Each structure stands twice: as structure tokens, then as C-alpha cells.
Amino acid sequence: MATEIIRILKPSIVRGGNLWLHAVLMLGSLVMLIPFLVMLTASLVPKELLLSRNFGWADLTLANYPETFRAIPFARYYLNSMIVSTGTVLLQIITASLAAFAFARLRFRGREPLFLLYLATLMIPFQVTMIPNFILTSRRYLNLHDSYLGLILPSAFSVFSVFLLRQYYRGIPMEMDEAARMDGATSARIWWQIIMPLSGPVLATLAIFNFNAAWNDFLWPLVITRSVEMKTIPIGLASFQGQYNTEWHLLMAGSVIALLPVLLIYIVGQKWFVRGITLSGMGGR
């Protein structure tokens, strides 16, 4: 009798649990959206009204956005960030996929200890390697200081990217490599014509991670750049904050503009992003 009652009530209990779960998730999403809503609202309010905190719907205006471009060379900063972020993503995909292919698909002596040593460098914070990187890029024979190459190259090699791709590559059957080698394919051809076409989801995940990190990077561009023409968006936004005054209306407007590329890339690649996280073994499965 009790078993029959549980069997009848179980669908209702499951539906009730799902409703509560959805309610909690919606509440959490709303809490996370509040800072973005505040930022968007502040970007639409004139400076005087924003500081006095006395404004209504009729006071909202788009005038802060063109003023942001007039106050600083924001368009130049935007272009610099786009070039640096795109270049970093492309180089990281190439270097990380080659290294991950070697660690996951090739057999050579000392592969696992070498990978563990390589993985251990994740424990080294960027602040430790920042000064050596600065000294290296500022050498006379390289002369990468205050240049796009100086902004891109130190970020073109990532241990995390290699680890992410290696986890995904290990899930691809080795029989595909063996069949290709029997047909005379080299390791480079296997990487380019077999592994890379099958790596769309994880490459999309990697591209989103790296683009977001390069787009928001503040410390390295601040150290390596000197001229106004080479500065990126985070440095440009920081220029709205002075010692005694902060242009909050322009800072919020610039932040909204800076958010758009990252938001667009995530919306476009959301399905591939979730799939890549799952298949690479980082989704908790």
C-alpha cells in the first residue's frame, strides 16, 4: 500500500522539486544581474543627477556614450584590445593544440613526468614572471616594448589551455591515428586533418576563455605600454578614475561598451562552450 502511494505521488514530488530548483536558479540569476543593471542605469544618467542620486526614468539619456569617445581615444583602445585579444586567441589555439597533441597522442620517453612538470607551472603566479617577461621583451634585439607583439606573445602560451585540450584529445580513439599512419599520414597531418576538425567544441571553449582573459587583462598592458596609441580598454577605463574625482557616468558607459564583444562571443558560442566543458572533463562528470 505504501509503495503504491509513493509511486503515485513521485511525479508530483519531482515536479515540485524542479519548480523549487528553477525558482532558486532564477533568484540566483537575478542577484547576479543586479550589478549589470546598476552599471547600465548609471551609464544612462547625467553626472550631476548620478552624484545626487536623484533621477527618474525621464532623466535617462544616451549622451554619456558619445562623450566617452570624446573624453579619451576610446576607439583606439577598443581597436587595440580587439587586435591583442584576437591575436592571443589564435596563437594560443595553435601552440596549445600542438603541445596537447604531443602529450595526448604521441608516445615518447618521459612524457608523463614532463607533463606533470609543465602542469606544475600553473602554481606560479603571473606577478612572479612579469618582471622577467618585461626584461626579455625590452631587450634591444627584440624591442617588443610598446608594441602589439609585446602585448600578445607573453600570453600566447598557456598551461591551462594545453591541459584542457589534452583532456579532450585523450577521449578521441587512438584507432583513428593508427589508421591514418597506415595510410602514410604524418603526425602533423593527423593533427591538422583529424584532430583539429574534431575539436570544435573544446576550441570554442578555449577561445571564449582566452578572449575574455585577454580582453580584461590590465596589469601586463599597463607595464608593457607607454604611448597612448598602444593602450587597451582596461587602461582606458582606469583613466576615468582620478585621485580626487571619478567620472562615474563615463566609466559606466565605457564598461557597457567594453562588455559587448565578450557578451556577443558567449551568446554565439554558448552551445559549443557548454559542450566543450562537458567533453573536456571539466563539467564535473
Query: What local confidence, expressed as pLDDT, does residue 93 receive?
Result: 94
146 and 8 fall within a common domain: no
From residue 187, how far is each of 90, 105, 153, 167, 227 by CA, in Å?
21, 9, 26, 19, 44
Judgement on whether residues 13 and 110 belong to the same structural domain of the protein: no
Q: Looking at residue 284, what is its pLDDT?
A: 45
Domain hosting 225: range is 72-279
Closest CA to 77 of 255, 263, 266, 268: 255
Report the domain count for the chain.
2
Run means of pLDDT, 10 residues per run, the chain, 285 residues: 47 60 86 90 89 82 92 93 95 94 92 91 88 85 86 89 91 90 91 90 88 93 91 92 84 93 83 64 49
State which H helix or E strand residue 175 sits in. Answer: helix 175-182
> Is residue 9 located within the same domain as residue 147?
no
Considering the domain architecture, whether residues 51 and 112 belong to the same structural domain is answered as no
Q: Is residue 65 part of a domain?
A: no
Same domain, 156 and 263: yes
Same structural domain, 253 and 134: yes
- Is 67 a member of any domain? no
Report the pLDDT value the prediction gives residue 14, as an integer from 0 to 100. Answer: 47
| Amino acid (one-letter) located at 214 | A
| Statement to judge: residues 128 and 180 lie in one domain | yes
What per-residue confidence (pLDDT) applies to 47?
87
Q: Quick one: 39 and 96 in the same domain?
A: no
Residues 30 and 166 in one domain: no
**The pLDDT value given to residue 6:** 44
Distance of CA 2 to the CA centre of its chain: 53
Residues 38 and 157 in one domain: no
Question: Which CATH number do you get for residue 81?
Answer: 1.10.3720.10
pLDDT of residue 258: 93
Query: Quick one: pLDDT at residue 5?
Result: 44
DSSP 3-state percent helix, strand, coil across the chain (nearest 5): 75, 0, 25
Q: Same domain, yes or no, for 50 and 77?
A: no
Q: What is the pLDDT of residue 25?
A: 85
Give pLDDT, residue 232.
Answer: 94
